[in-house]
């Protein structure tokens, strides 16, 4: 079955860029997502990318997709302390109407 | 809209007791999902419903777990009997339709502790 892997922890200084990486195994995954979870809260969708795209930009967020290597990354420009949270990568097949497979989550720590 | 509502927010119970978690999805959403989050296993999909009908329950760990959706505005996840290894945060989420671009909106979660 599908497996989604992420590094567990990333620490950056305020104002720097953060890059969170994710790899997935199922080449049939056609939709890939980034979610953010703040302490004590549920997950919030940040952005998603279709597998026929290489890059998507949304304000401070840039998603890069390398289909050949099955590698997804989320870049946060000018990282702020409010960006401190857990970031989840998730994958989904187009044929599947609901099931998302989540990575373990990357804890982003932003130091002032 | 108030978003996805879950209750209770925290539940502490003793092993062997029955636990019922509740969820009210966003009005008008056709899909409802139950997830479990633990340190060891991360975020796992337990079951999801479309128009109140269970579609995929392959993630339900054992027969001790059951989920129902009697109407479009209410769902329950029941554990009977509960065990310490069921301790986790349980999330409910809903989405408008099943299309991949439909956002799944998550509730705040129920933190379950089984002693």
DSSP code string of B20-38: EEEEEPPTT--EEEEEEEE
Q: Which of A30, A73, A27, A69 is nearest to A52 (CA)?
A: A30
Confidence band, pLDDT 50/70/90 cuts, at residue A95: low
pLDDT tens series, chain B, 115 aa: 679 999 999 999 999 999 999 999 999 999 999 999 998 888 999 999 999 999 999 999 889 999 999 999 999 999 999 999 999 999 999 999 878 788 889 999 999 999 9
Give CA–CA dist A111/A80, Å, rounded.
9
Query: B50 contacts in A (CB within 8 Å)?
Result: 97-98
> Residue A74 pairs with which residues in a beta bridge?
A20, A63
Quote the percentage of chain A above a pLDDT of 70: 95
In tens, the pLDDT along A6-16 reads: 989 999 999 99
Distance set, CA A106 to CA A50, A67, A102, B15, B105 (Å): 22, 21, 11, 32, 20
Q: How far is B7 from chain A (nearest CA, A)?
A: 13
What pLDDT, on the 0 to 100 scale, is given for residue A1? 66
In tens, the pLDDT along A58-91 reads: 999 999 999 899 999 999 999 999 999 999 999 9
In tens, the pLDDT along A13-59 reads: 999 999 999 999 987 778 899 999 998 888 999 999 988 888 999 99
Query: B100 contacts in A (CB within 8 Å)?
Result: 30-31, 48, 92, 94
CB within 8 Å: B98 and A103: no
Question: Could you say which residues from 4 to 33 on chain B have a Cβ atom under 8 Å away from some Cβ of chain A?
Answer: 4, 31, 33
Q: Which of B16, B22, B12, B17 is nearest to B90 (CA)?
A: B22
What pLDDT, on the 0 to 100 scale, is given for residue B1? 64
Q: What angle do CA A56, A37, A69 make, to 5 degrees?
A: 40
Q: How far is A45 from chain B (nearest CA, A)?
A: 7
């Amino acid at each position: 079955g599908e497996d989604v892997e992420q590094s567990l922890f990333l620490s950056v200084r305020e104002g720097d860029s953060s890059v969170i990486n994710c790899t997935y195994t199922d080449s049939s995954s056609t939709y890939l997502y980034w979610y953010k979870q703040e302490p004590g809260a549920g997950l919030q969708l940040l952005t998603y990318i279709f597998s026929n795209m290489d890059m998507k930009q949304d304000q401070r967020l840039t998603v890069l997709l390398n289909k050949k290597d099955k590698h997804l990354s989320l870049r946060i420009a000018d990282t702020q302390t409010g960006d401190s949270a857990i970031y989840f990568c998730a994958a989904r097949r187009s044929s599947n109407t609901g099931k998302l497979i989540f990575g373990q989550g990357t804890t982003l720590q932003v130091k002032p | 809209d108030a978003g996805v509502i879950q209750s209770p927010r925290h539940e502490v119970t003793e092993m062997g007791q029955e636990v019922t978690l509740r969820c009210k999805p966003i009005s008008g959403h056709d899909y409802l999902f139950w997830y479990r989050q633990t340190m060891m296993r991360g975020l796992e999909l337990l079951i999801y419903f479309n128009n109140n009908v269970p579609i995929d329950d392959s993630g339900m760990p054992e027969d001790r777990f059951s989920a129902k959706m009697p109407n479009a505005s209410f769902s329950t996840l029941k554990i009977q009997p509960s065990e310490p290894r069921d301790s986790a945060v349980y999330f409910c989420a809903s989405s408008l339709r099943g299309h991949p671009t439909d956002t799944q909106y998550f509730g705040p979660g129920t933190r379950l502790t089984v002693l």
